[in-house]
């Protein structure tokens, strides 16, 4: 355990299965490292197939009673959970920074973001409405109600290890479902800390389990189960495709939040400062390890050189370091393989004709850091523009006109987030209409929040999280045709 977590009662090195904190049945452990030092933060059990089956059967037993409670009873438990998350914001943030590496100020924002989902869905629990549809035939009524899907599962990533859990668990609980969470091996402790608080809030035993350990074997038990009725996954498109195939045999419902290759289009008429600041925040949040961050930056040729220089100057001034240092702007990447991957991306881009304006290498010293990097002279066919980067590298690509940049932005198998900066209202509407993306930020990059629907198209996945639409992922529509109503 690192010194930052000494005595922290939310820091649990056990799995939470069927309402019990415990070691895995085979007693094997998995170490979790602080990516900024390489030190061990702690160890979690490697849950066995039997542990997962036990979590599933406890969820099955608990779900019926939970669904039978009134929506406002479910909402009360969730509101208590929300209040506990808010109260323990600092401890939760420190746990996240220890295992994920992101600067503390980003961890605090993520805890706030997570709490907002729990509060929002506690409110939405009472608004799962049905319909009465006018019947085309006499003496009948067409009644539509929504029922919980049942037992559900979430497989969550290491880049937003708290909010991706809150965004899935909260709508599931609100709808009356049970959930088994499989957090990333790199960041299990924040998931376990959330479970400590859920238990304290009064969530019934078994309704929420957190199974730790190796993803493929645990997830296979989940996807093979006839009891689990829904899987929600956030992660890479590659893994998503495997899970989609695995879910075919049980015809399991799915939500898939997969990879992105977000274009950011900077037109010559943009508000210069807003575009620069927006791009900085978008590109370097979480060290560039987000599915919605700037992956290809298209800058109109008339301003490209000056804009690139101004952006590179700002990027070079960022302070890289351990997240516990409050002056740090950007933390480490999640592991050394990620930092090595960044070096390989830069080398390949240079080989294909790009020029390093700033950054481009791993700094000396411990930790999985990589310098904020800006590349000029990039074209849309280079590997750096075609693949998701997932790190602090910014390829700048020039363009001349609207039609050209729309075609270039849409030339990707991904379709999650896209952004543009322009002060021309007509252009903002035309371009955002034409972008084949689930999310479009217009003169704004901080677009994720609890009231807005988050999700992609094409190989970025399907389903929506957050907003009034997010709860639809956890309900089934039941149609009752009521006849015999003639006197």
Choose, from 291, 293, 368, 465, the residue flagged as catalytic. Answer: 291
Least distance between ligand SIN and beta carbon 354 (Å): 25
Mapping DSSP to helix (H, G, I), strand (E, B) and coil, where does residue 181 land? Answer: strand
Please indicate whether residue 476 is annotated as part of the active site: no
d(CA 482, CA 9): 54
Q: What is the CA radius of gyration of the chain?
A: 23
Residues that bind ligand SIN (CB under 6 A): 159-160, 234, 290-292, 448, 454
Among residues 150 and 288, whose Cβ is nearest to ligand SIN? Answer: 288
Among residues 101 and 176, whose Cβ is nearest to ligand SIN? Answer: 101
Please indicate whether residue 257 is annotated as part of the active site: yes
Least distance between ligand SIN and beta carbon 331 (Å): 15
Among residues 2 and 234, whose Cβ is nearest to ligand SIN? Answer: 234
Among residues 160 and 414, whose Cβ is nearest to ligand SIN? Answer: 160
Among residues 227 and 440, whose Cβ is nearest to ligand SIN? Answer: 440
d(CA 342, CA 394): 11
Are the C-beta atoms of residues 96 and 187 closer than 8 Å to each other? yes
d(CA 436, CA 416): 9
Cα separations (Å) of 456 from 119, 255, 289, 344, 422? 24, 10, 17, 28, 23
d(CA 413, CA 404): 18
Tokens in use for 134?
Answer: 């006018």
Q: What value, to the nearest 5°, has the Cα angle with vertex 112 and ends 108 and 117?
A: 145
Q: Left (φ > 0), alpha (ψ -120 to 50) or beta: where does 484 sit?
A: left
Please name the helix (run of DSSP H) or strand (run of DSSP E) that holds residue 421, with its range, or none: strand 417-421
d(CA 245, CA 36): 36
Least distance between ligand SIN and beta carbon 235 (Å): 9
Among residues 36 and 290, whose Cβ is nearest to ligand SIN? Answer: 290
Least distance between ligand SIN and beta carbon 472 (Å): 19
Angle at which helix 71-87 crosses helix 188-201, to 10 degrees, equals: 130
Least distance between ligand SIN and beta carbon 167 (Å): 8
Among residues 18 and 166, whose Cβ is nearest to ligand SIN? Answer: 166
Tokens in use for 48?
Answer: 């066995």
d(CA 292, CA 278): 13
Choose, from 199, 257, 465, 473, the residue flagged as catalytic. Answer: 257
Tokens in use for 276?
Answer: 């620069």
Least distance between ligand SIN and beta carbon 388 (Å): 11
Tokens in use for 439?
Answer: 């999310």
Cα separations (Å) of 257 from 3, 292, 339, 403, 410? 35, 11, 24, 29, 19
Are the C-beta atoms of residues 15 and 211 closer than 8 Å to each other? yes
Are the C-beta atoms of residues 428 and 472 closer than 8 Å to each other? no
Among residues 270 and 292, whose Cβ is nearest to ligand SIN? Answer: 292
Please name the helix (run of DSSP H) or strand (run of DSSP E) that holds residue 337, with its range, or none: helix 336-351
Least distance between ligand SIN and beta carbon 121 (Å): 16
Least distance between ligand SIN and beta carbon 86 (Å): 19
Kindly list the catalytic residues. 257, 291
């Amino acid at each position: 355990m690192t010194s930052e977590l000494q005595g922290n009662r939310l820091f649990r090195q056990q799995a939470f299965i069927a309402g019990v904190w415990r070691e895995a049945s085979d007693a094997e452990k998995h170490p979790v490292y602080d990516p900024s030092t390489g030190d061990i933060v702690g160890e979690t059990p490697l849950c066995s197939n039997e542990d997962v089956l036990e979590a599933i059967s406890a969820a099955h037993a608990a779900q019926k009673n939970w669904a039978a409670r009134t929506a406002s009873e479910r909402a009360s438990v969730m509101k208590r959970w929300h209040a506990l998350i808010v109260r323990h914001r600092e401890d939760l943030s420190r746990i996240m920074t220890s295992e994920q590496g992101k600067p503390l100020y980003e961890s605090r924002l993520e805890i706030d973001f997570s709490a907002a989902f729990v509060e929002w869905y506690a409110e939405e629990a009472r608004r799962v409405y049905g319909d009465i549809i006018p019947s085309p035939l006499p003496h009948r009524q067409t009644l539509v109600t929504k029922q919980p899907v049942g037992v559900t599962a979430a497989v969550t990533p290491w880049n937003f290890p708290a909010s991706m859990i809150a965004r899935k668990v909260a709508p599931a609980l609100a709808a009356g479902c049970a959930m088994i969470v499989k957090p990333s091996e790199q960041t299990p402790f924040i998931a376990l800390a959330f479970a400590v608080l859920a238990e304290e809030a009064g969530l019934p035993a078994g309704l929420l389990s957190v199974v730790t350990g190796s993803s493929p074997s645990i997830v296979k038990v989940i996807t093979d189960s006839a009891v689990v009725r829904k899987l929600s996954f956030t992660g890479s498109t590659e893994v998503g495709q495997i899970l989609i195939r695995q879910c075919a045999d049980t015809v399991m419902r799915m939500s898939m939040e997969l990879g992105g290759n977000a274009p950011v289009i900077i037109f010559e008429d943009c508000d210069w400062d807003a575009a620069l600041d927006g791009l900085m925040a978008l590109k370097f949040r979480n060290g560039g390890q987000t599915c919605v961050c700037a992956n290809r930056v298209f800058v109109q040729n008339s301003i490209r050189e000056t804009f690139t220089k101004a952006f590179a100057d700002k990027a070079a001034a960022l302070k890289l370091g351990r997240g516990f240092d409050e002056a740090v702007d950007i933390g480490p990447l999640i592991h050394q393989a990620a930092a090595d991957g960044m070096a390989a991306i830069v080398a390949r881009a240079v080989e294909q004709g790009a020029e390093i304006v700033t950054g481009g290498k791993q700094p000396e010293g411990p930790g999985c850091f990589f310098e904020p990097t800006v590349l000029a002279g990039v074209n849309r066919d280079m590997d750096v523009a075609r693949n998701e980067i997932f790190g602090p590298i910014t390829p700048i690509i020039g363009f001349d006109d609207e039609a050209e940049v729309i075609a270039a932005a849409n030339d990707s198998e991904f379709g999650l987030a896209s952004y543009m900066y322009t002060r021309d209202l007509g252009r903002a509407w035309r371009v955002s209409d034409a972008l084949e993306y689930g999310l479009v930020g217009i003169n704004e990059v901080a677009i994720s929040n609890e009231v807005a629907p988050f999700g992609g198209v094409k190989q970025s996945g399907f389903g929506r999280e957050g907003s009034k639409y997010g709860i639809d992922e956890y309900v089934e529509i039941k149609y009752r045709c009521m006849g015999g109503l003639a006197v």
